């Protein structure tokens, strides 16, 4: 009888812990008298939103690429070529993500410097003529058979890990510019130099934003932060001023309908804007885009949002924006929770991932909508691109792992 009452009390305690507002981590008591079995929960909302973005991206990649074989450039491709490769990338990414979510965050904290060094080696290797693959005059990919791997995607995760690790190790010298900031600036500058050799200025902007964001969130002195920001902005200004191609892109972005630019540097932008205009409120219907029929270049990669706007209209674009906003906000909440329970590395790294996803999505959307100059950045989780999808899923798997460990620690368990 006593055992039965104890089991009933355990069941009632479990029900109370599962009440609204409580953490969705609960202990299930076996009424037959067996030992309690701990069920570790995770943020199901985050996983569902990521799944929705992946699913919508898969559909839109197929819609945007189905007509490409009509173009002589893709004459040897089938109508499902890009769909098949995207599905393969998703499958590989999901398998790797399931493996990564099993790895304790302490492992990544110890390995962060080595991961950065390995990334730098890959960024050097990709520049070698017999290693790197050239696409559209850019040498950014290392062929791996099943996919072409882009080291700059790994660099985004590597810099988030290294910057978080660096801030934890330099916690006591935040007020000293040379000791606290200069080594980090050198690391980012070296990565930037390698990326600009590819060239891949878009990835450099994202990586610099991640590093700057983590330094700011890590508590670096405000004056130092604004000094670094000013140096980075001045660097970008100098790059644009002394690079004719990038300067012309800026001028074309400012006046895309000028006949001088409309059929040249602003060609993608003008056709992207036409696609959004045709979509109106509810769109032309799935599969009914005209701009994807060889008018809008890179419709399945950099300008996927324009196809979404044309086929699904304002409603579809708004849904994508809301999902990215919610996902980024939730990632930051997980990071703040980690810092609140004294897991500074985990918290800063997760917030770095949030900056990555949010900033890259913002830049891609801004480029598609003509708010920002054209940059070669994909829409995270959605655009076609094997290594981009793979690294997005790996980063988000680490976020989920941090969330799992947070919940376990808050209930008195172990990470």
**Contact (Cβ atoms closer than 8 angstroms) between residue 360 and residue 392:** no
Q: 395-414: per-residue pLDDT in tens?
A: 999 999 999 999 989 887 66
Q: Percent of the chain scored above 70 by pLDDT?
A: 86
Q: What is the mean pLDDT of the chain?
A: 84
What pLDDT does 171 receive? 67
What pLDDT does 40 receive? 54
What pLDDT does 231 receive? 73
pTM of the model: 0.86
Residue at 265 is within a domain: yes
- Using alpha carbons, list the distances in angstroms from residue 138 to 98, 134, 135, 267, 347: 32, 5, 5, 19, 35
11 and 100 fall within a common domain: no
Distance CA 245, CA 259 (A): 18
Residue at 259 is within a domain: yes
233 and 359 fall within a common domain: yes
29 and 47 fall within a common domain: no
**Contact (Cβ atoms closer than 8 angstroms) between residue 372 and residue 76:** no
Residue at 63 is within a domain: yes
- Report the sign of the C-alpha dihedral through residues 226, 232, 236, 242, in that order: positive
Find the largest Cα–Cα distance for the chain.
89
User: Does residue 10 surpass a pLDDT of 80?
Assistant: no
Q: Percent of the chain scored above 90 by pLDDT?
A: 52
Residue at 415 is within a domain: no
195 and 317 fall within a common domain: yes
Of 219, 164, 88, 175, nearest to 356 by C-alpha is: 164
Q: Phi and psi at residue 199, in whole multiples of 5°?
A: -90, 155
Residue at 390 is within a domain: yes
128 and 34 fall within a common domain: no
26 and 56 fall within a common domain: no
**Contact (Cβ atoms closer than 8 angstroms) between residue 272 and residue 299:** no
400 and 271 fall within a common domain: yes
Residue at 18 is within a domain: yes
Q: 111-167: per-residue pLDDT in tens?
A: 999 999 999 999 999 999 888 888 877 888 898 877 889 999 999 999 999 999 988
- Using alpha carbons, list the distances in angstroms from residue 87 to 47, 120, 390: 18, 29, 11
82 and 145 fall within a common domain: yes
Provide mean pLDDT across the span 78-101: 94
Residue at 215 is within a domain: yes
6 and 70 fall within a common domain: no
Q: 274-316: per-residue pLDDT in tens?
A: 999 999 999 999 999 999 998 998 899 999 999 999 999 999 9
3-state class of 50 per DSSP? Answer: helix
93 and 23 fall within a common domain: no
Q: 222-259: per-residue pLDDT in tens?
A: 676 777 777 777 777 777 777 777 777 777 778 888 88
Tally of domains in the chain: 2
Q: Which residue has the higher pLDDT, 206 or 20?
A: 206
3-state class of 271 per DSSP? Answer: helix
Q: 159-189: per-residue pLDDT in tens?
A: 999 999 988 887 665 556 666 677 777 888 8
User: Does residue 60 surpass a pLDDT of 60?
Assistant: yes
31 and 66 fall within a common domain: no
59 and 22 fall within a common domain: no
Q: By residue range, what is the domain housing residue 365? A: 40-410
**Contact (Cβ atoms closer than 8 angstroms) between residue 372 and residue 363:** yes
């Amino acid at each position: 009888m006593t055992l039965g009452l104890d089991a009933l009390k355990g069941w009632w305690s479990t029900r109370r812990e599962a009440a609204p507002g409580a953490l969705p981590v609960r202990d299930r008591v076996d009424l037959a008298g067996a030992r309690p079995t701990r069920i570790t929960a995770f943020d199901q909302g985050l996983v569902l939103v990521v799944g929705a973005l992946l699913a919508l991206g898969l559909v839109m990649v197929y819609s945007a690429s189905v007509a490409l074989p009509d173009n002589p450039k893709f004459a040897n491709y089938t109508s499902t070529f890009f769909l098949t490769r995207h599905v393969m990338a998703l499958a590989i990414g999901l398998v790797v993500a399931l493996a990564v979510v099993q790895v304790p965050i302490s492992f990544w904290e110890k390995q962060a410097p080595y991961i950065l060094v390995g990334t730098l080696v890959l960024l050097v290797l990709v520049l070698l003529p017999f290693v790197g693959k050239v696409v559209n005059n850019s040498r950014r990919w290392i062929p791996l058979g099943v996919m072409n791997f882009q080291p700059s995607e790994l660099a985004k995760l590597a810099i988030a890990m290294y910057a978080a690790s660096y801030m934890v190790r330099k916690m006591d010298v935040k007020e000293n510019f040379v000791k606290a900031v200069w080594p980090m600036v050198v690391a980012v500058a070296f990565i930037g130099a390698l990326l600009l050799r590819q060239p891949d200025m878009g990835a450099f902007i994202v990586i610099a934003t991640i590093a700057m964001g983590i330094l700011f969130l890590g508590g670096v002195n405000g004056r130092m932060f604004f000094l670094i920001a000013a140096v980075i902005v001045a660097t970008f200004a100098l790059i644009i001023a002394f690079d004719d191609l990038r300067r012309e892109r800026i001028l074309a972005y400012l006046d895309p309908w000028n006949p001088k630019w409309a059929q040249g540097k602003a060609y993608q932008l003008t056709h992207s804007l036409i696609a959004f205009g045709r979509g109106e409120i509810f769109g032309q219907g799935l599969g009914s885009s005209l701009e994807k029929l060889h008018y809008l270049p890179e419709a399945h990669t950099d300008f996927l949002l324009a196809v979404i706007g044309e086929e699904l209209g304002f409603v579809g674009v708004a849904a994508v924006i809301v999902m990215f906003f919610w996902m980024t906000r939730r990632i930051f909440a997980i990071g703040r929770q980690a810092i609140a329970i004294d897991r500074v590395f985990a918290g800063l790294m997760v917030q770095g991932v949030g900056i990555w996803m949010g900033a890259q999505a913002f830049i891609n959307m801004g480029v598609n909508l003509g708010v920002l100059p054209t940059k070669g950045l994909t829409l995270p989780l959605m655009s076609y691109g094997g290594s981009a999808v793979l690294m997005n899923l790996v980063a988000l798997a680490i976020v989920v792992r941090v969330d799992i460990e947070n919940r376990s620690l808050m209930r008195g368990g172990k990470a």
